[in-house]
Amino acid sequence: MSESLLADASQRLENALKYVKISEDAIERLKYPKASISVSIPVRLDNGSLRIFQGYRVRYDDTRGPTKGGVRYHPNVCMDEVQSLAFWMTFKCAALNLPFGGGKGGITLNPKELSRMELERLSRGYIDAIADFIGPDVDILAPDVYTNAMIMGWMMDQYSILQRKLCPAVVTGKPITIGGSVGRDTATALGAFFVMEAMLPKFDRRPQETTVAVQGFGNAGAMLAELLWQAGYKVVAVSDSKGGIYAPQGLDIPSIRHYKEASRSIQAVYCKDTVCNIVEHTVITNEELLELDVDVLVPAALENQITSANADRIRARYIFEVANGPITSAADRVLEAKGVYVFPDILVNAGGVTVSYFEWVQNRSGLYWTLDEVNQRLKQKMLDAAEPIWAIARDQGMPVRTAAYVYALERLEEAIRTKGTRDYYLNGH
């Protein structure tokens, strides 16, 4: 992971500052994370050997409330990446008007190399190491890349053991039986779908006439692909970490999801048994998927998928970022010059943190909502953010990403100003 990832993420803040006047105090506060911690986690493996894993947690800004953010298990996890993700979460929570700041965490490893028991020891060890750094009113954890409800349950349980009391609100994305919220597992995809359904008609795009490619067939990408398929969009390509498939006439997404779950690989879906007969297809790479001639591109994998090296070859007219940071700031400039509309991660994938907020509220109140209530509240939250952000972009002629940062920045500035700024103290009122 490049050491300049946080600097690249901060470039989005610099772009937004050209369009909005905020106090020097706010700018200074948002340049640096409030607190960061790096920990070593010893884990006894099943074969009896001891292995040390490196873990991180960052609380970027808590002006608007306790920090909130996921924990990812991935070989590329490092402090720079975690700080960047926490930075994005700060603006995402402000854009959606959630009473949170931005946080993030992670452990450097390939989780596929560990057994389930080893993953549990690692997850509980991570909480042992950062317990004094987190809490329901300080910093709330959630699932991210290669973490899930079971892992969140282990983390919540370990924190509760350390506190000598049940603390369900310290972690969101938990199993429903121990305080999780219905709708959390589909929230990121459904939130993105609501944004797409609201934005594409503004360009006179009809589902049946719109082709879509989805890079990343994990939980969010696969669910979004199926939601789009159900709504009548022509999903022509999908991919996972091992590669992808492309069929110009459209793919049968429910069948692909079914076989993917059984085979663990997109390529296996179209290369084994009778599933190969579902539709004619072409096997492609992730890089090739990004450059397909489609109307809508959905990067739903990892960061830095579209860079200055390939941005000029992107042919999609509309990009909806379901992954965090899939496009670099340099690539943004190329795409803008090409007339590509990029709907940013801090809006499009905010469904996950929004329903995590709902879970936190339910944990603290003891009153739990139905799936319909959760989804209706989610839709309202997503539209309440998407419409004004689009209006700013349209009326001021700026990229949608910049409009989203301007919208979030105004909320952050207001909260920082409420606590007192240089202007307040010098002017004496």
Residue type at 161?
I
User: Is the distance from CB of 84 to CB of 325 less than 8 angstroms?
Assistant: yes
Residues identified as active-site: 104
Retrieve residue 370's tokens.
Answer: 């139905």
Q: What angle do CA 416, 422, 426 make, to 5 degrees?
A: 140
Q: How many CB atoms neighbour CB 176 within 10 A?
A: 14
CA dist., res. 106 & res. 59, Å (int): 12
- The burial of 125, by beta-carbon neighbours within 10 Å (0-12 exposed, 13-18 middle, 19 or more buried), is given as buried
Look at the block and give the residue holding tokens 């990009």. 319
CA dist., res. 328 & res. 227, Å (int): 27
State the Rg of the chain over Cα: 21
Q: Dump strand ranges (E) for 252-340.
A: 282-284, 296-299, 318-320
Q: What angle do CA 38, 39, 43 make, to 5 degrees?
A: 150
The closest alpha carbon to 123, from 110, 107, 139, 104, belongs to: 107
